[in-house]
Amino acid sequence: MMKAKRILLIFILGLAVTQVWAQTSAKFTGFYAGLSFERFAEKIESESDFRFYFDPMLVEGITVNIQVNETGLSDLLSSVLEETDLEFSISPDGKVFITKGEKLTVDFARGYFDPKVDVEGASGQNASAMGAFARNMRFEIGKENEDPAKRTAVLRGKITNIDNGEPMLGTVIFEKVDYQKAITDENGMYRLELPKGRHTLIVQNPGGYQEQRQIELFGDGVLDMEVQENFLSLDEVVVSSGALNNINKLDMGVQAISIADVRKLPAILGEVDILRGVLTLPGVNTVGEASVGFNVRGGAADQNLILYNQSTVFNPAHVFGFFSAFNPDMVSGVELYKGSVPVNYGGRLSSVLQVEPKFGRTDKIGGSGGIGIMTGRLSLEGPIGENTTFILGGRTTYSDWALNLLEDEAALEGSNASFYDLNANLRHTFNDKNQLEITSYISQDDFAFDADTTYSYRNTNLAATWRHYFNDQLEGRFTVGYDGYEFGIIGEDNPLNAYEFSFDVKQWHLRADFEYRKGEDHLYKFGVHGIQYQLNPGTNQPFGSESIVIPEDLEDENAREIAVYFGDEWTINERFSLSYGGRYMLYQLLGPLTVNQYVPGAPITESNVIGEETFGSGQVVQAYHGPEFRLSGRYTLDNQSSIKAGFTTMRQNLHLLSNTSAIAPTDSWKLSDRYLKPQTGGQASVGYYRNMARNTLEFSGEVYYRYMNNLLDYRSGADLILNENIEQDVLNSIGKAYGMELLMKKTSGLLTGSLAYTYSRSLLRTSDEPSIEKINNGEFYSSNFDQPHHVVLVTNYELSKRINVSLNGNYSTGRPVTLPIAKFEYAGSERVYFSERNAYRIPDYFRLDASVNLEGNHKVKKLAHSSWSLGVYNLLGRSNPYSVYYTAVEGQLQGYQLSIFARPIPFITYNFKF
């Protein structure tokens, strides 16, 4: 018996040795022409039992051109990799490892590589808990012979960060051959329907790091995966839809930007700024430096809906626009919708900027922060018990020295500026079907640009969202929140005239949003939104006991807005998808309010007032309602290109009363009333999208046309502050905008970046309704932010895994201005004759910036991971004009050019994460 066992053992060992010998001694004959290394490896695998293991980034750019005859793999690889710094190692059981610099030891313990892992039904399996090489294991999903008539199966699961257990938003999972893909939501969940059989899944996290999973799909099942984050940037806050998303995403005019990339951009005074990252996108521009307000496709700054979670942020800037209102450490994603706005968004005419909040990590207490020459920030996050996470973050400024860098130092003597912002977010998971999220934000700015006038403003946002998963097909999200914005001025130049002016807008909102997935062909979105507005147009009170200022207090304005919506994302076939839907909005201005009555058909002037009408509390003063339509489609030409087209209409019930091109703290908001109708408009666009060079280059080109009605412009000399009859100074205008946007991005390799070119026009014309005056004789004229040409170059070169350098350029046509062109004598005094509205332009804008980002060492076990950012803003020291203005000097009219930063601005910031 013992002898038989020995014979059997020797036989088995002999078979094993024979198998290994056959494996390692395999010979290859053929012509491998023009193959990428990945394709070459796949071909070798298909012809033998060898299996390759390598980082795709290592072999990027290697092309195989070789003819062999009865050549062993070792000799073959030696020839292929001869002129590279790559090494290869072949284990006894046929595993081939490609490494850089030195060979990998291949003496692995028995069982280190498990050939397959069973994942049956919906029980789930963590695909990273199997060892360091989970990416090359084969996971069996479902049960064999389960429902043989069904040729496809649904794979779903959750993607989390291997370091802290946080869900990975924006991770792309796609099948390697047919490029069927899914993108994780904010909870890290994905759903993918594939043909039954063997597949290679590529998992690309938002930072660009790729992993792969081998699966054998027998039936429906769950595959949860923990993946690495691209730790090189030390930034977990990223939104990236992946290279394939450029082709496959149904919506057009939608662009995302990662904070990892924003951190590499040279910034003013070293402050990382999300909105300045948005300004690198085509179709997005700003009127000048020190202005965070932005213009999208020819729209005004107030026509952008800026959302933090579901909360509206009315003023997205600190210190007159020097800094963004958003702390980058508290953000998990940013997306800008400037073409096909999703049906669940509304209320603004131009765009929606969705800023997703960050929630705390689930594994341990940690944090991050930074110390710059102007600001400092700190955040702390982690778990509370098993089912709750938190994150707290704050940011402040601690120096006024930067004001001395501005051009007019004498005028700023005695000036000071300070701000802070605070975020607190909480997430509690009751069970796998119910989750509660609470987000809060508060900011405060105080500044004085002379010794006797103090400005202050505050943003306040609070929202609570309950997510409920009714089943695998239906998800509901219910949100209640409050948004507020307050502004105030205290003037103390003369105690007798000392005053305190204030303005505020408040809104309470309630939202119910649902998503219902019907099979793989339809994703329905529907819901209802409600907003209650309360607006104080302005109050002016005496300040101090000596002041004799007469109190003024305009009537409060109240309104409610209700919208219902429905939309469907319909996958008609593999090539053609359609998104359609609509919103219907009801708006009501409510009392108490007193409204002027004017002569019917006559211009709205003080002389045409014929009476007043008074409304009691809760009475409907004026109502407006109407539909908004959404329609977009995508046709995939092949795996590398697609065309898209869309049409969108929008309505806006809030107006910004401003005599500046950018959003300023002194601007006030105004609700639509009997004479100021809601702004309405529509946009049609079409685009072509193509990926090249193995998805490392992305190209997109879009053209668009917009029309806008009921826009506000102002008669010459209009007074916008404490004007209780503002309708008498407002000119009802119509607008049109059209343009072309081109974008080329390089997304991988040592050199990455983008080149964006935008041609756009934005024109206004006084409407045909009776009015006080017609600007430019009723002809179209350039809006304040009409800048036809805009070019942005963003480059980043990775010198090593720890050092990268950036050089960025920005050019745009000068914005329009109205200039005095003559003077004349009239009625015994000298008068000035001005050109037509916005007939001239200030000089063009051009700026170069440079920066270096230095990472600390990448040891996993250390107290904190750190990095340094240093560079120069406005490297060439150009005096780019912000505005041109004229003033009388000794009886002569003199012209001046105002530049915000007229010299190079160096910066340095220390960042840390623990």
Q: What is the pLDDT of residues 836-867, one digit of tens each?
A: 888 889 899 999 999 898 887 655 556 677 88
Phi, psi of 232 (to 5 degrees): -65, -30
Q: What is the pLDDT of residue 10?
A: 43
pLDDT higher than 80, residue 247 = no
Residue-wise pLDDT tens digits, 335-360: 899 988 999 999 999 999 998 888 88
pLDDT higher than 90, residue 906 = no
Q: What is the largest CA-CA distance in the chain?
A: 131
Q: What is the pLDDT of residue 320?
A: 67
Query: Hey, which bits of 519-592 come out as E strands?
Result: 522-542, 552-553, 557-571, 576-590
One-letter-per-residue 3-state SS of 153-217: EEEEEEEEECCCCCECCCCEEEECCCCCEEECCCCCEEEEEEECEEEEEEEECCCCCEEEEEEEE
* Number of alpha helices (DSSP H) and beta strands (DSSP E) in the chain: 6, 58
Give the orientation angle of helix 73-80 with respect to helix 37-47, to 10 degrees: 170
What is the rounded average pLDDT for all residues in the chain?
Answer: 82
User: What are the structure tokens assigned to 818, written together?
Assistant: 């109205």
User: What are the structure tokens assigned to 451, written together?
Assistant: 């010794």
Give the strand pairing for 366-372 and 905-913: antiparallel
> Given pLDDT bands bounded at 50, 70 and 90, which one contains residue 233?
very low
Contact assessment for residue 224 and residue 301, using Cβ atoms and an 8 Å cutoff: no
Long-range contacts of 113-116 (CB under 8 A, 24+ apart): 113/137, 116/140, 116/216
Residue written as token pair 């793989």:
520
pLDDT higher than 60, residue 115 = no
Residue written as token pair 């959302």:
307
DSSP tag of 67 = E
> Given pLDDT bands bounded at 50, 70 and 90, which one contains residue 414?
low
Q: What is the pLDDT of residue 129?
A: 40
Phi, psi of 703 (to 5 degrees): -125, 150
pLDDT higher than 50, residue 454 = yes
pLDDT higher than 60, residue 575 = yes
Higher per-residue confidence, 400 vs 169: 169
In sequence order, the β-bridge partners of residue 531 are 509, 561
CA 871, 877, 879, 880 dihedral sign is: negative
Mean pLDDT lowest among 46-50, 117-121, 277-281, 412-416: 117-121
CA-CA-CA-CA torsion for 339, 342, 347, 349, nearest 10 degrees?
10
Q: What is the pLDDT of residue 564?
A: 98
Highest mean pLDDT among 124-128, 269-273, 275-279, 579-583: 579-583
Contact assessment for residue 839 and residue 816, using Cβ atoms and an 8 Å cutoff: yes
pLDDT higher than 80, residue 878 = yes
Q: What is the pLDDT of residue 15?
A: 40
Residue-wise pLDDT tens digits, 269-293: 667 788 888 888 899 988 677 665 7
Q: In whole angstroms, what is the distance from residue 586 CA to residue 627 CA?
A: 9
Q: In whole angstroms, what is the distance from residue 832 CA to residue 823 CA?
A: 4
Q: What is the pLDDT of residue 236?
A: 34
DSSP tag of 281 = S
pLDDT higher than 50, residue 901 = yes
Average pLDDT, stretch 246-258?
Answer: 75
Residue-wise pLDDT tens digits, 463-520: 999 999 998 889 999 999 999 999 999 888 888 889 899 999 999 999 999 999 888 7
Residue 17: helix, strand or coil by DSSP? helix
The angle formed by the CA atoms of residues 772, 778 and 781, to the nearest 5 degrees, is 115
> Given pLDDT bands bounded at 50, 70 and 90, which one contains residue 109?
very low
Residue 405: helix, strand or coil by DSSP? helix
Residue-wise pLDDT tens digits, 782-825: 998 899 999 999 998 988 878 889 899 999 998 898 888 777 77
> Given pLDDT bands bounded at 50, 70 and 90, which one contains residue 105?
low
Q: What is the pLDDT of residue 209?
A: 58
Residue-wise pLDDT tens digits, 1-21: 455 445 444 444 444 444 444
Highest mean pLDDT among 204-218, 364-378, 423-437: 423-437
Higher per-residue confidence, 92 vs 308: 308
Residue 407: helix, strand or coil by DSSP? coil
pLDDT higher than 90, residue 590 = yes
Measure the N-to-C terminal CA separation of the chain; round to a whole number of Å: 63
Rounded to two decimals, what is the model's pTM?
0.77
Q: CB 752: neighbour CB atoms within 10 A? A: 20
Q: What is the pLDDT of residue 188?
A: 80
Single-letter amino acid, residue 903: R
